[in-house]
Structure 1
Amino acid sequence: MAVAAEVQAPPRFSAVATELKDKLSGELTKVNDVILDNLSSSVPLIPQVAKHLIAAGGKRLRPLLTLAAADLAGSSAQAPKLLAAAVELIHAATLLHDDVVDDSALRRGLKTANVVFGNKESILVGDFLFARAFELMVKTDSLRALDILSRAACTISEGEVLQLETQSNVTTQRDTYIRVVSAKTAALFAAATHAGAVVANADATAEKALADYGLNFGIAYQLVDDALDYAGEAGSLGKTAGDDFREGKMTLPVILAIEMARNDDERAFWERTLGQGQQRDGDFERACQLIGRDDLITRSLEEAQAYAEKAATALSVLPPSPLRQTLEDLTISSVIRRS
């Protein structure tokens, strides 16, 4: 009798992220040193606020992807490290601003900087980090890398504004939501890998492949993050479960739920809770129940998987290597992440 082949479980996202960090540990240590050096200021409050966020940890995914892109293109020089530090500072700046806009209370499992230090302080230190990031970009002596990250910074801001326009708008369509995700989150992933390839003098084929990888991985990553907010697992990601619901954010699970509403009562529920922001005890639980009834978390993750597969496929034009394989594993495992 034939024995069925054993199906190997895909690696956990946290394990693959650690693997990537281990492969690039020497370079990442130098990047972290550059980041810390650029938090210094004669105004003591600036490093206090910045270090509150940056020292809280995080996976350092974006700088790691910058380093990985440069390594795949054949460079381990100083410029990619400066660029990786700039990418992380841009990311940190956007988080400081996001937490003020969203009135968030928790980030990476700790109280947000705006709760600890204040909204004004968070916004101004975020501006400081943006400025430091651009100083680092100039030091790479790459006008193309500067152009890529400058454009990304503009796109991120556009994504934030577009998200504000869609907030509490229960007529938001999934195409608009993907535009928000592409701009607000994926643009920096794409810029990280694209600019990393550029400063490593990658050829046009490798440059495009790495840019496409970053963009599609970024979209998949945010789709999963938004889905987990309604799966009761957001707490493991360092934020409070239900934050998106309470803020009236139109993410894919609720867009699908509104499309599939079976009666006027359900449509009225979404209009009251998200459209009008009139939320009561038990509303988040009902939202999760409606989303779970039609298995919309799975549908959201399936869409994320399609983008993750696009990301992995984009790398197929590059020579096979352990690092390329780790990047492919990273994007595929991101869809099943729980930590």
Structure 2
Amino acid sequence: MTVVGPFGLRVRDQALEADVQAALTAVEEGLVEATKSTVPFITEAAQHLMHAGGKRFRPLLVMLSAQFGDPHAPGVVPSAVVVELTHLATLYHDDVMDQAAVRRGVASANANWDNSVAVLTGDFLFARASQVLADLGPEAVRVQAEAFERLVTGQILETAGPGAGDPVEHYLEVIAGKTGSLVAVSCRFGAMMCGADEGVVSTLTQYGERIGTAFQLADDVLDIASDSHESGKTPGTDLREGVATLPVLRLRAHAASSRGTAADRELCALLDSDLATDEEGHARALALLRAHPALEQARRDTVRYAEEARAALSPLPDSAAKAALSALCDAVVHRAG
């Protein structure tokens, strides 16, 4: 059994391992080329988060999905470059919106330079992703455009809030747009580019949608439960910025129910205070959330989506690639503890 890629997937098949490792190496080379500019400062800013690492979860999904056809087809690696460039671009923009200081264990672009540089660098990466995408044909452009619309819609929904709707359901809709859409496209591109039939493309797209949601929910848990070494960012970043992720939403729902206690309501009040400037309050809120059943509930939600992803694979024939995609469900759950 061998660990493949920064995400830590364990692969039992040597041929699959060799294919995926070689393809991910080619993706890294493609990312370096795609982020170069004739202006040295733009290259430095565009490669800032790329060189900081990252799990390359989306390119890995492209490669595994491409195993259901010709994994060496010419569009496979470029499509993985497209999804990773798009993902990187969103990180630059997200960090500005969240006023985040750390990303992937290094200073965020907005902290390292300023908001304007971070936003414009994200735009530059979107432009480079579009250039690579244009060579993959009109269907690939359409698929990416639809996913990008969903991604932006998810961000807008998050900004607008749930209104009178159920906050948990609203949040899951946000996650499906912000994260699930691009992860689903990763699987779809891999299957499309390798020449898989339409049924396989559809199955892998459904898998990607579910594993993408599980992946984000695992990040929500990590933001509360991990240290900065595990998550690559300051623990409780979302709490500090007042972003209500699933553990917080589960806490609020519990506090508002007949099972809610005075301690639950006090914790909610603490979360509503200015944790961005209150270090003691932030530390106390983190400690209380780590001990609250809401965190375990969020872990169970993560497991549920991961198991739905695994179940979505059932129509596919047994293969090393299918086994690896199933193992990814376990890897995502493991991240959430």
Q: What is the TM-score when the length of structure 2 is the normalising length?
A: 0.88
CA distance in 2, matches of 1:132, 1:84: 13
Residue among 214, 238, 247 paired with 1:244: 238
User: Structure 2 matches for 1:175-186, cutoff 5 A?
Assistant: 175-186=169-180
Q: Counterparts in 2 of 1:254-273, with a 5 A limit? A: 254-261=248-255, 262-263=260-261, 266-267=264-265, 269-271=267-269, 273=271
In structure 2, what is the Cα distance between the partners aligned to 1:134 and 1:328? 31
Which of 281, 294, 297 pairs up with 1:296? Answer: 294
Letter matched to residue 239 of structure 2: F
Distance 1:113 1:280, change over 3 A: closer
Residue of structure 1 aligned with 2:91, choices 83, 91, 95? 95
Matches within 5 A, 1:216-235: 216-233=210-227, 235=229
> Would you say the 8 A contact 2:11–2:324 is kept in 1?
no
Q: What is the match of residue 311 of structure 2?
A: 313
Aligned pair partner of 1:37 in 12, 33, 36: 33
Tell me the percent identity. Answer: 33
Match of 2:140 in 1: 145
Query: 1:192 and 2:190 equivalent?
Result: no
Q: How far apart are residue 246 of structure 1 and its match?
A: 0.8
Give, in whole Å, the separation in 2 of the partners of 1:98 and 1:185: 12
Q: What SS does the aligned partner of 1:58 have?
A: coil
Amino acid at match of 2:50: I
Equivalent in the alignment of 1:165:
160
The residue aligned with 1:7 is none
| Alignment partners' CA distance in 2, 1:95 and 1:278 | 20
Going from structure 1 to structure 2, the CA distance change for 1:256 and 1:88 (only over 3 Å counts) comes to: same
Between 236-245 and 267-276, report the one with greater CA deviation.
267-276
Q: 1:319 to 1:263 in 2, by over 3 A?
A: closer
* Post-superposition offset of 1:206: 0.5
Amino acid at match of 1:250: A
CA distance in 2, matches of 1:136, 1:97: 21
Unaligned runs of at least 5 residues, structure 1: 1-12
Assess, with a 3 A threshold, how the Cα gap between structure 1 residues 49 and 179 changes in structure 2: closer, same or farther. same
Match of 1:82 in 2: 78
Q: Which amino acid aligns with 1:32?
A: E
Instruction: Measure how far apart 1:333 and its partner are.
Output: 2.1
Q: Is the 8 A contact 1:56 1:108 kept in 2?
A: yes
Give the structure 2 partner of residue 287 of structure 1.
285
Farther off after superposition, 192-201 or 122-131: 192-201
**How many angstroms apart in 1 are the aligned matches of 2:276 and 2:34?**
43
Q: CA deviation at 1:233?
A: 3.5
SS in 1 for 2:224: coil
- After TM superposition, the score normalised by the length of structure 1 is 0.87
What RMSD in Å do the two structures reach over aligned CA positions? 2.6
Q: By how many angstroms is 1:283 displaced?
A: 2.5
The equivalent residue for 2:3 is: none
User: Which residues of 2 match residues 127-138 of structure 1 at below 5 A?
Assistant: 127-138=123-134
* Separation in structure 1 between the aligned mates of residue 213 and residue 65 of structure 2, nearest angstrom: 18
Q: Which structure has the higher relative contact order (CA within 8 Å, separation 6+)?
A: 1
Q: Distance in 2 between matches of 1:69 and 1:221?
A: 17
Q: Give the Å deviation of 1:189.
A: 0.2
Match of 1:174 in 2: 168
Contact residue 251 and residue 294 of structure 2 kept, 8 A: yes
2:23/2:77 contact within 8 Å kept? yes
Instruction: Kindly provide the amino acid, as one letter, of the partner of residue 328 in structure 1.
Output: S
Alignment partner, residue 215 of structure 1: 209
Q: Secondary structure at the match of 2:100?
A: coil
- In structure 2, the gaps of 5 or more residues are 1-5
